[in-house]
Amino acid sequence: MQDIITLMEEAQRRIDEHNPYFTDKVETVLAILRSKGVVSYRRISQNGAWHTQLAATLVLAHEKDTAFALPTRRQQTLHDRGVSTTIVSFLDKAVMAGLIISQSEKYLAVGRLSLGEIIKAYLDHAEAA
């Protein structure tokens, strides 16, 4: 299991490499996140980079076949580590939408998190193509 913030940092490096194969998978996951209301399509100019980084993080988790965890829900700690504080709400919405599986009975991004079947199916299909 990996710290999602560390995974996000690695995902950003992968985005910066401009690999078209990785970028295509990120765009697919980003479209899923938008279609399920996890991230808004209305605030792309303001939060688009965070949305892309979240999608890239989920793609990277799939590539590494790893579970991940949000180390804290404390806003100040997340900010101090250089992460948007909206990551908590994005992850909670993804759990509620079934895109991420959580151990929490309250549909919160708490504890061990893993990719849901929808995202896995799309990414498995992208790898097979």
Write down the pLDDT at residue 44.
66
Q: What residue has token string 């209301």?
A: 37
Write down the pLDDT at residue 71.
84
Domain encompassing residue 62 = 2-128
Edge-to-edge strand list for the sheet holding 113-115: 2-3, 68-69, 113-115, 100-102
Query: Token pair of 49, please?
Result: 């980079």
Diameter of the chain measured on Cα atoms: 42
Indicate the average pLDDT of the chain: 89
**pTM of the predicted model as reported, rounded to 2 decimal places:** 0.91
In the chain, how many domains are there? 1
Model confidence at 11: pLDDT above 80: yes
- Which of 62, 65, 73 minimizes the C-alpha distance to 5? 73
- Number of C-alpha atoms within 13 angstroms, CB side, residue 30? 18
pLDDT 10s digits, 75-119: 888 888 888 778 888 999 999 999 999 988 888 988 899 999 999
pLDDT 10s digits, 22-70: 999 999 999 999 999 998 777 665 667 889 999 999 999 999 999 999 8
